């Protein structure tokens, strides 16, 4: 069953269409104008909107644009009696699912609805597979620290307060940010992710704020940035600790005024977007070292949430493994779901999981692919899990600095690099990107 909105200024057409769609078992609403349709879309979501193109006031193309901004998942089919090739091209480029030329038969509508249901179900399944390994991990926990984090996230979701998520790589900061957006009043608007480690400073500035034609070599047209794409929604800045001081200043202005200019532009743009930031760095230490602005830190840290590492969620480990294996088995067409042998459980529960949930998922996928059909065997797990390296001996002489986070991080990176044949594999084991690994090596002189 689908939910369908029929929009047409001609009463006979919308009534006739709605009656037929209802006869197929679908839930149907009607609207006599684009303005009425937008009012209904504020109250509920629809799987499909069937809209005429030519209507008084806002036309069908304008309605299509508004729907794509507010509820991108809704499929839109435009109907017209004045079909032209340029108009058809314009409609499809604007994001319409299909284009019907009047007069059309009811059988065409029936076939269209069948395709819409298939597309909707495929999208839902894809979304389930993308998020299944992470979302329940965050929403179900026996860890007091994780429960506190989730409680704060639920309470702050209803506000527009800026949120700072901290914790080690792979603990689920991106997934929690998505969930806060889903819990918020902005859930129907875009959730836009910007990873601050994947682009150079110049390109990242353009990605964030956009640019105007001629701003730099290759800027052959005006291009809006990701902040504009997040209008009325949420923008998620991952690894914000990697921002340069210059970009930090520009981001601070956006947080204070919700205004900015595109690169090379003079027009001030105002955007209503909530900001959630995440980092695996200690930003207070970065502030003390002069690498991060204190005023930006305080602006970001209106509400701070620390996600605990997997080693602090030992009571969740068995449930996590069961859920991840169920999801991976469906992805790899394995039935029934293979379960770890006692030896495999011993290795899984004895390992520290420095890469956290991301490392757990990768290790279990490897084991599932390599193991026999009915069980996850210990020898199919990565070597680091089965036989983790012995901990380094405690330093003598009471040197407190030797136990600092930076010293431990450097030692761990050196060890993983020594054990990995390529930088890509080392980055995967560490649960970070290759660019971030390169920066860590540069920082520590490795």
pLDDT digits (tens, 9 = 90+) for 393-403: 444 444 444 45
CB-based burial, 288-319: b 16+ in 10 Å, e otherwise: eeebbbeebbebbeebebbbbbbeebeebbee
Question: Has residue 131 got a pLDDT over 60?
Answer: no
Per-residue pLDDT band for 139 (boundaries 50, 70, 90) equals: low
Q: Looking at residue 398, what is its pLDDT?
A: 45
**How far apart are the two ends of the chain, measured CA to CA in Å?**
58
pLDDT over 70 for what percent of the chain? 89
Q: For strands 210-211 and 223-224, give the pairing.
A: antiparallel
Q: Looking at residue 64, what is its pLDDT?
A: 87
Tell me the range of 24-28, 38-42, 68-72, 237-241 where mean pLDDT is highest: 237-241
Q: Are 168 and 210 in contact (CB under 8 A)?
A: no
Tokens matching residue 203: 């390109």
Top-confidence residue, 151 or 73? 151
Per-residue pLDDT band for 439 (boundaries 50, 70, 90) equals: low
Length of the chain measured in residues: 446
d(CA 370, CA 376) in angstroms, rounded, equals 8
Domains of the chain: 3-128 (3.40.50.2300), 135-308 (3.40.50.300), 312-388 (1.10.8.60), 392-446 (1.10.10)
Per-residue pLDDT band for 237 (boundaries 50, 70, 90) equals: very high
Q: Looking at residue 405, what is its pLDDT?
A: 66
Tell me the range of 101-110, 219-228, 249-258, 407-416 where mean pLDDT is highest: 249-258
d(CA 103, CA 100) in angstroms, rounded, equals 8
Residue 17 exposed, middle or buried by CB count within 10 Å (0-12, 13-18, 19+):
buried
Q: Looking at residue 153, what is its pLDDT?
A: 94
Per-residue pLDDT band for 103 (boundaries 50, 70, 90) equals: confident
Tokens matching residue 66: 């508004």
Q: Looking at residue 434, what is its pLDDT?
A: 67
Per-residue pLDDT band for 441 (boundaries 50, 70, 90) equals: confident
pLDDT digits (tens, 9 = 90+) for 74-97: 888 888 877 676 766 777 777 888
pLDDT digits (tens, 9 = 90+) for 350-401: 899 999 998 999 999 999 999 888 889 988 999 888 876 545 444 444 444 4
Q: What is the DSSP string of 64-123?
A: HHHHHHH-TTSEEEEEESS--HHHHHHHHHTT-SEEEESS--HHHHHHHHHHHHHHHHHH
Question: Has residue 269 got a pLDDT over 90?
Answer: yes
Window from 12-16, 21-25, 28-32, 124-128 with minimum mean pLDDT: 124-128
Question: Has residue 184 got a pLDDT over 90?
Answer: yes
Q: Looking at residue 83, what is its pLDDT?
A: 63
pLDDT digits (tens, 9 = 90+) for 277-324: 999 999 999 999 999 999 999 999 999 999 999 999 988 899 889 888
Nearby residues of 358 by Cβ (< 8 Å), 6 or more positions away: 169, 170, 431
Per-residue pLDDT band for 70 (boundaries 50, 70, 90) equals: confident
pLDDT over 90 for what percent of the chain? 39
Per-residue pLDDT band for 73 (boundaries 50, 70, 90) equals: confident
Q: Where are the beta strands (DSSP E) in 303-398?
A: 303-306, 339-340, 375-376
Per-residue pLDDT band for 173 (boundaries 50, 70, 90) equals: very high
Q: Looking at residue 99, what is its pLDDT?
A: 80
Q: Looking at residue 424, what is its pLDDT?
A: 78
Question: Has residue 106 got a pLDDT over 70?
Answer: yes
Top-confidence residue, 404 or 423? 423
Residue-averaged pLDDT of the chain: 85
Top-confidence residue, 237 or 138? 237
Residue 337 exposed, middle or buried by CB count within 10 Å (0-12, 13-18, 19+):
middle
d(CA 150, CA 165) in angstroms, rounded, equals 11
């Amino acid at each position: 069953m689908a939910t369908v909105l029929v929009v047409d200024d001609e009463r006979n057409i919308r009534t006739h269409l709605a009656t037929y769609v209802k006869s197929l078992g679908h839930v149907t609403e009607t609207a006599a104008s684009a303005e009425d349709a937008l009012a209904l879309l504020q109250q509920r979501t629809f799987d499909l909107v069937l809209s005429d193109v030519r209507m008084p006031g806002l036309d069908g193309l304008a309605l299509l644009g508004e729907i794509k901004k507010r509820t991108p998942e809704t499929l839109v089919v435009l109907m017209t009696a004045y079909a032209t090739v340029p108009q058809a091209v314009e409609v499809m480029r604007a994001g319409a699912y299909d284009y019907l030329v009047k007069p059309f038969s009811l059988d065409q509508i029936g076939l269209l609805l069948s395709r819409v249901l298939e597309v909707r179900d495929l999208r839902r399944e894809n979304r389930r597979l993308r998020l299944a390994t992470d979302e329940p991990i965050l929403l179900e926990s026996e860890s007091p620290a994780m429960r506190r984090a989730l409680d704060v996230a639920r309470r702050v979701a209803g506000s527009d307060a800026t949120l700072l998520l901290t914790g080690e790589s792979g603990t689920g900061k991106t997934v929690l940010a998505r969930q806060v957006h889903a819990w918020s009043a902005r859930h129907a608007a875009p959730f836009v992710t910007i990873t601050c480690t994947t682009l150079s400073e110049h390109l990242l500035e353009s990605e964030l704020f956009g640019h105007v034609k001629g701003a730099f070599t290759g800027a052959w047209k005006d291009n809006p940035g990701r902040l504009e794409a997040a209008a009325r929604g949420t923008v998620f800045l991952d690894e914000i600790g990697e921002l340069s001081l210059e970009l930090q200043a520009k981001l601070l202005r956006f947080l204070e005024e919700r205004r900015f200019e595109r690169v090379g532009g003079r027009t001030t743009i105002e955007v209503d977007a909530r900001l959630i930031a995440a980092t695996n760095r200690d930003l207070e230490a970065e502030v003390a070292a002069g690498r991060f602005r204190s005023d930006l830190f305080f602006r970001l840290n209106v509400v701070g949430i620390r996600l605990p590492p997997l080693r602090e969620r030992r009571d969740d480990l068995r449930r996590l493994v069961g859920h991840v294996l169920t999801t991976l088995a469906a992805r790899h067409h394995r039935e029934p779901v293979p379960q770890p042998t006692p030896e495999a459980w011993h290795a899984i529960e004895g390992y520290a999981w420095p890469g956290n949930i991301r490392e757990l998922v990768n290790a279990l996928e490897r084991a599932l692919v390599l193991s026999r059909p009915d069980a996850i065997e210990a020898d199919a797990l990565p070597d680091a899990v089965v036989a983790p390296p012995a901990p380094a001996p405690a330093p003598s002489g009471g040197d407190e600095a030797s136990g600092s986070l930076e010293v431990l991080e450097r030692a761990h990176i050196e060890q993983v690099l020594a054990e990995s044949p390529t930088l890509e594999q080392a980055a995967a084991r560490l649960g970070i990107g290759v660019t971030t690994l390169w920066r860590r090596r540069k920082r520590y002189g490795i």
